[in-house]
Structure formats: structure tokens, C-alpha cells
Amino acid sequence: MTEQLTSTFNALRTAWQQNRPDQHQRRADLKRLRAAFKKSLPEMAEAISRDFGHRSLHESMLAEAMIVLKEIDLCLSNLKRWIKPQRRKAGWQFWPAKAEIRFVPLGVIGILSPWNYPVNLSLAPLVTAIAAGNHVYLKPSEHTPHTNAYLTRLLAEVFPDSRVSIAQGGADIAAAFSALPFDHLFFTGSGNVAKKVMAAAAQNLTPVTLELGGKSPALIAPDADIIQATSRILTGKFFNAGQTCIAPDYVLLPDNLFESFITEAKTQITKRYSQMDNPADYTAIINDAQYQRLIGLLDDASLRGHQAMPLFSQSDLQQSRAQRVLPPTLVLNPDNDSLIMQEEIFGPLLPVKTYQTYEEAIQYITARDRPLALYCFSKSQAEIEAALSRIVAGGVCINDTLYQFACADLPFGGVGASGMGQYHGVEGFRTFSKAMPVLHKYSPASTDLLRPPYGRLADFIIRFLTR
């Protein structure tokens, strides 16, 4: 299988070297992809739902279809401007000259995509890589076989296999894939796997973009509208049953808002998911291993004496387990050393922790790994600025959740433990391009005078240039 990976990679690189996609080709590719993708949305949603056991149709359309279509449209609208060379100042010392930056394609881009949003997180980076003029080799997660089959059909309809190819397989294939000498490797997934991907890429000095996750806090300031904040945090947390890298991973709120948050959470969940035995709008956990991992987090919390509060009845909980449907659950004031506060949750479990002062809450966040997302809820610009000026995060949304990812013209990417590099829009285009500096030098030139044997004229010129 490794030989097949290498053969496919070589075919992609040879084809790119022989015929690098120009602006016309890139636009044509993106338009064909948009048309084929739009036509196939029912097939996409069905494939994803089969992989999850059940996936809300509306969540698939919002999180997969909308994001990809917006990315394509943004690239089509701006590609001519992005490609245009940027003028820079050459400096009077080099007159007469002209300086510019040209954005040139890198070559063959490798994309390793995860299972939680298997279409969005495969196609969104692919779109910007194609817009930048590259060829793409995609390795999707082995945990979404039906979606992978859909992606294979879709991409084969749009692209020749010498421009876009897909590698199928498990962890062994992913490891071999990471070791290919790509011109750039783009990975979305966990930090533990990212370390292996980065180590493999390092053997070829392949640059990497790592889109990871971590524990993204929802910080509720003392003056926040608690009903609004609770509603929007629940939306961000329980979308896709919490299987979202930018989902709020825990809530920090003042002591005096604790009971109000819990009461409102119960009210909201009852309104949203009234029939847990047939939850059309609630997504299942992707597989048994992930389900048992989440149960393990709850078991650890229970052993430590922390209160776990399912927001459905116990009878609904028992009925839903066979379908890997894990009800939204609050874990109240867990210790910092509990598993649920040490690991990225990636499921519908929400720790709720209280603080005494706003400063204490900010210090709590800054003492930990930099999160992929920060959600700050406040009516006070001063309190919002206090958080923004102290906390470094991959992205921020004020008084709501998730929208920073959906805004196609904002870059998306982590920092430190939550990732490196970014994509979406022009930042994605530049991630998959080389910003190549070009200096056009015209006559006369000082280099005609500054050459050995150096003499008094050279001394004068150097004194003049370094004065």
C-alpha cells in the first residue's frame, strides 16, 4: 500500500510540474466543484448520517454544506485580486528598481481530515489549495466510510485523478501518508496524532498546518445576560452533540449566576429536544469507542464525587444508549485534576465552574494551554477588552459561539497546543502559496561600481548608503 501512495503522489507531482493550473483552470475547477457539490447535498447528508448512526440533517447542512459553499464563493469572488502581485517599496538605495510579492502555488498538498465534520474539513482546505493552484492528495478518516465513498464519487466527477486523489485506510496508511514529501501537509485532529504527523513531515522538512483543539472556555462576565449566554453556549456545545473542535469545553461564571445557568439550561434543553427517544435534531456519538470514552469521563467525575446532571430523564438516558445518543449533561464544579478538566471533551458533556472575581477567571484561562476558541459574554466593553488583552486564543467570538469559524473571511487556526497555521479565505490561499519576493533591477546599478578591487569610490558609496 505504501508503494501505491508513493505512486499516486508522484503522478500528482508530475502532472503539476507539467501543467500548473492557471487562474482560468482554478476558476473552472471551483465552479464545477460547486455545481456538483450543490447537486449532491442530499447524498452527502445521508452518507454522514449513516456514519454517525444518526446526524441531524439541519446540522449537516449548516456545518458542512454552508461552510464549503461559502468558501468556494469567497475564492471565486476574490481569486483575481489574491493572485495579483503585491507592490512593495524597493528603497531609494536600489533605484531604479521595482519590488513585488508574487503568490505562486507550492505543488502537491496533503490533507489529513477528521471524522467529526468529514466533508467540511476535507473540502474547505481542498478548495483553498485548488484556488492557490496546487494539486491535492486527500486522506479522510477511516471512521466515516460512507462519507469517504461519497467524497470519492464527488471528486472523481470534478477532477482528473492527476489533480486530486484520495487515499483510503486506517492509522497505518495515515502514517505512511504523512511521510510523503508533500510541499505542504495540512492536518486536522488531535494533538497526540499531530505530534506523529509533524515528526513524519519533519523527515522531509515538509511545512505543516495543524488544526487541533483543546479546552475552549466560555467566560461569562458578572454583568452578562445569563439567559442569552446560557442559550448561546448550549447551542455551541450541543451542536453535533459536542463533537466540534471549537465547542465550548467548559463554562466559567460567577457564583451568583450558577443556579440561574443550571435552571435556564434545563429549560432550554427541554424545549429543544422534547423527544429524546426519537431525537431527529440531536446527533449520535460517532462510534462505540468515542461513546465509551465519554462514559469514562463521567465515571471519573462520579468517583471524585462531582455531580453530573443529565438534562434528560433517566428513562430517556437508558433508551438512548443503544443508539449511542448521549444526553446533554452538566458536570458541576469538577476539580481541575479530574479527567473532564484535563482532556478535550469532544462530546455533549459540559463542566460548569464558578469563580469569585473576574480577574480570577482570566488567570484560570491564561494559566492553561492556549485554546482554539474563546467565548466571552459581557455587556461591558471594558470587561471584553480585559479578556481580549490577556488571553491568547486561536479565535474569539463575543457574546455568541461558533460564528468565528463560519465567517469565511476570518482566518481559522490554533496557537500553541491548539495548532499552528491558519486557513479560510485569503489566509488559506496564502497558506498554500509561496509569497515569492521579486526585485526587478534596472540600469544604472551600483553593483556596476561596487566590485573588487574596492577603492575610494566604493568607500564613498558605502559611506553614502550607511550614513
Report which of 392, 339, 340 is spatially closest to residue 366, judged by C-alpha positions: 392
Lowest mean pLDDT among 63-72, 260-269, 330-339, 437-446: 437-446
Which of the residues 71, 211, 264, 383 is marked catalytic? 211
Do 202 and 194 touch, CB atoms closer than 8 A? Answer: no
Q: How confident is the model at residue 247 (pLDDT cuts 50, 70, 90)?
A: very high
Q: How confident is the model at residue 456 (pLDDT cuts 50, 70, 90)?
A: confident
Omega cis (within 30) before 85: no
157 catalytic? Reply is no
Q: How confident is the model at residue 254 (pLDDT cuts 50, 70, 90)?
A: very high
Omega cis (within 30) before 181: no
Do 330 and 350 touch, CB atoms closer than 8 A? Answer: yes
pLDDT at 406 over 80: yes
397 catalytic? Reply is no
Do 253 and 220 touch, CB atoms closer than 8 A? Answer: yes
The arrangement of secondary structure in 2-212+417-437, i.e. its CATH architecture, is 3-Layer(aba) Sandwich (3.40)
From CA 192, how far away is CA 204, in angstroms rounded? 20
Residue 306 corresponds to which amino acid?
Answer: H
**Mean pLDDT over each residue of the chain, to the nearest integer:** 93
Domain covering 217-413 in this structure, CATH number? 3.40.309.10
Q: How confident is the model at residue 315 (pLDDT cuts 50, 70, 90)?
A: low
Q: Which residue has the higher pLDDT, 273 or 162?
A: 162
pLDDT at 298 over 60: yes
Which of the residues 75, 245, 376, 397 is marked catalytic? 245
Across 320-346, average pLDDT: 90
Lowest mean pLDDT among 163-167, 205-209, 287-291, 445-449: 445-449
pLDDT at res. 412? 95
User: In what helix (H) or strand (E) does residue 295 lie, and over which residues does it extend?
Assistant: helix 288-303
pLDDT at res. 166? 97
The contacts of residue 159 (CB under 8 Å, 6+ apart) are 29, 33
**Where exactly are the structural domains of the chain?**
2-212+417-437, 217-413
Q: How confident is the model at residue 273 (pLDDT cuts 50, 70, 90)?
A: confident
Give the model confidence (pLDDT) of 356-387 as tens digits: 999 999 999 999 999 999 999 999 999 999 99
